[in-house]
């Protein structure tokens, strides 16, 4: 049976007179989708500030608004026509004069009241999505000892919720926080992510029903799949190879072109993977460890064209040669065209791992300065592992290469099919 569309939609002009209507839809609709009262109020405030801001900068423009359930979260989607750089105040940190700060206070409130946002430009239409996550209990298990398996190991392809939660707790007991997906500290959230098909999990068990290991994966894009694990809870490593083979066999039946690791463990059977390189991760005690990143082709690669800046073109050519990927590099050439005045970045934070990843939403004339301000604040807040990811399908993202590298970032690796096209990952030195 096809899933029923439960979303609620409005079409309204950008006018503060319509703010109560938008608030009412969220305040009455979000709880139906499972969002708690306090979080519903925060989402309503964020949406209110977006409408008020649009009414100020582009009064009367048409807004298409949509409230949508996501199982473990609720989304507010806005589509409208406006200058993309007018949303610059949604950056994690801003550097501007007091008057501008006050004028754009609503956007600052909106970006900090939600758990994530994305901003995309399609022709002249901007698509802004605000996400507010549901509340889940956080678990903090102690260190666990590996078990001795008995008998043959088997894969449970669609584990029940209790098994998923037990596997999350086991993983947290065996592995450091930065080696585990952040969602695992809230096992109930993981269950809902699996139910929503935003995440897939397989577990390995021995003949007595004891948990031997787990692995998880999810779509990174329409053509790419990322995975974490395998996480092994036994004295031997049979579960690692079994889970690795199950992952490969399962995703090979999908439409995906490639499979790459997000958080690979030493238990990964790498004989059927190619190395994409590594990321340097600074630990809280100051040590630096190398996080290997692995890739496997799932279908024959027919080649593609990607955008590139001269600042990192040589790196791309070397990476593609090593991966035996046919890519035509289209070099960005600025011809004096006007850019938006301000840049916008979304930021994904992992405080437990001291990690921050920046994603460009709008490239403006102030790109280098904007990046510098974000990095300065993140370092001050003890985020030692700072990354920027750009999608080479978009020329406007690829054009940021010089601004990124001028701020102390180095291209580290390419994730084939990690986005609309390949994703280039930069790391701050």
Mean predicted confidence (pLDDT) in 167-186:
96
Which pTM value belongs to this model?
0.91
Q: What is the pLDDT of residue 104?
A: 58
Using alpha carbons only, give the angle 342, 354, 221 rounded to the nearest 5 degrees: 65
Domain 7-135, CATH among 3.30.1130.10, 3.30.565.10, 3.20.20.10, 3.30.2130.10 = 3.30.565.10
For residue 111, the model assigns a pLDDT of 83
Does the pLDDT value for residue 1 go beyond 50? no
Which letter does DSSP use for residue 17 in this model? G
For residue 101, pLDDT over 80 is answered with no
CA separation for the pair 12, 26 (Å, rounded): 15
**Length of the chain counted residue by residue:** 429
Question: Alpha-carbon distance 346 to 339, whole Å?
Answer: 19
* Whole-number Å distance between alpha carbons of 83 and 124: 9
pLDDT band at 412 (very low <50, low <70, confident <90, very high): very high
Q: Which residue has the higher pLDDT, 101 or 41?
A: 41
Query: For the chain, where do the domains classified as CATH 3.30.565.10 start and end?
Result: 7-135
Helix (H) / strand (E) element for 347: namely strand 344-350
Of 79-83, 102-106, 389-393, which range is least confident?
102-106
Using one digit for the tens of pLDDT, what is the confidence trace for 377-406?
999 999 999 999 999 999 999 999 999 999
Cα separation, 258 vs 293, in Å, equals: 13
Strands 211-219 and 200-205: antiparallel
CATH 3.40.630.30 segments of the chain: 154-297, 311-428
CA distance linking residue 72 with residue 227, whole number of Å: 20
Distance CA 5, CA 285 (A): 48
Distance, first Cα to last Cα, the chain: 51
- The residues facing 22 across adjacent strands are none
pLDDT of residue 150: 94
Higher pLDDT, 186 or 83: 186
- Tell me what the mean pLDDT of segment 320-342 comes to: 90
Quickly state the pLDDT bin for 105 (edges 50, 70, 90).
Answer: low
d(CA 308, CA 331): 5
> Which residue in 417, 419, 218, 181 sits closest to 320, CA to CA?
417
pLDDT at residue 4, rounded to an integer:
81
**If we measure between CA atoms, which residue out of 360, 342, 345, 356 comes closest to residue 400?**
360
User: CB of 255 within 8 A of CB of 222?
Assistant: yes
What is 351-420 written as a DSSP string?
GGGTEEEEEEEE--TTHHHHHHHHHHHHHHTT--EEEEEEETT-HHHHTTHHHHHTTTEEEEEEETTSSS
Report pLDDT for 93.
65
The architecture (CATH level 2) of 311-428 comes to 3-Layer(aba) Sandwich (3.40)
Classify domain 154-297 at the CATH topology level.
Aminopeptidase (3.40.630)
Nearest to 20 by CA among 46, 48, 50: 48
């Amino acid at each position: 049976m096809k899933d029923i569309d439960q979303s609620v939609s409005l079409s309204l002009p950008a006018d503060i007179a319509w703010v109560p209507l938008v608030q009412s839809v969220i305040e009455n609709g979000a709880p139906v989708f499972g969002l708690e009262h306090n979080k519903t109020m925060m989402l309503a405030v964020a949406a209110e500030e977006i409408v008020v801001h649009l009414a100020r900068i582009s009064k009367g423009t048409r807004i298409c608004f949509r409230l949508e359930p996501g199982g473990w979260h609720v989304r507010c989607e806005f589509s409208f026509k406006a200058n993309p750089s007018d949303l610059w105040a949604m950056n994690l940190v801003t550097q501007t004069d007091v008057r501008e700060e006050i004028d754009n206070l609503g956007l600052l409130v909106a970006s900090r009241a939600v758990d994530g946002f994305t901003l995309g430009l399609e022709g002249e239409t901007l698509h802004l999505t605000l996400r507010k996550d549901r509340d889940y209990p956080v678990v903090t298990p102690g260190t666990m000892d590996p078990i001795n398996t008995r008998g043959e190991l088997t894969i449970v392809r669609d584990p029940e919720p209790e098994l998923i939660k037990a596997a999350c707790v086991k993983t947290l007991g065996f592995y450091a926080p930065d080696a585990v997906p952040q969602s695992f500290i809230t096992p109930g959230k993981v269950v809902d992510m699996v139910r929503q098909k935003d995440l897939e999990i397989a577990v390995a068990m021995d003949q007595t029903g004891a948990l031997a290991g787990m692995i998880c994966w999810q779509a990174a894009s329409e053509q790419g799949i990322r995975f974490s694990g395998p996480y092994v809870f036994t004295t031997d490593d049979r579960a690692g190879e079994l889970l690795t083979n199950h992952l490969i066999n399962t995703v090979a039946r999908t439409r995906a072109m490639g499979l790459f690791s997000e958080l690979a463990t030493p238990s990964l059977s790498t004989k059927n993977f190619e190395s994409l390189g590594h990321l340097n991760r600074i630990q809280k005690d100051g040590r630096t460890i190398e996080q290997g990143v692995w890739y496997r082709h799932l279908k024959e690669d027919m080649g593609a064209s990607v955008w590139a800046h001269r600042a990192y073109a040589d790196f791309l050519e070397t990476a593609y040669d090593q991966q035996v990927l046919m890519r035509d590099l289209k070099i960005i050439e600025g011809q004096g065209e006007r850019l938006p005045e301000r840049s916008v970045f979304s930021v994904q934070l992992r405080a437990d791992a001291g990690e921050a990843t920046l994603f460009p939403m709008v490239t403006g004339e102030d790109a280098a300065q904007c990046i510098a301000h974000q990095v300065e604040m993140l370092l001050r807040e003890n985020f030692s592992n700072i990354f920027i990811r750009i999608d080479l399908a978009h020329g406007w993202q690829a054009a940021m290469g010089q601004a990124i590298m001028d701020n102390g970032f180095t291209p580290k690796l390419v994730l084939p099919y990690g986005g609309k096209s390949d994703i280039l990952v930069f790391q701050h030195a």
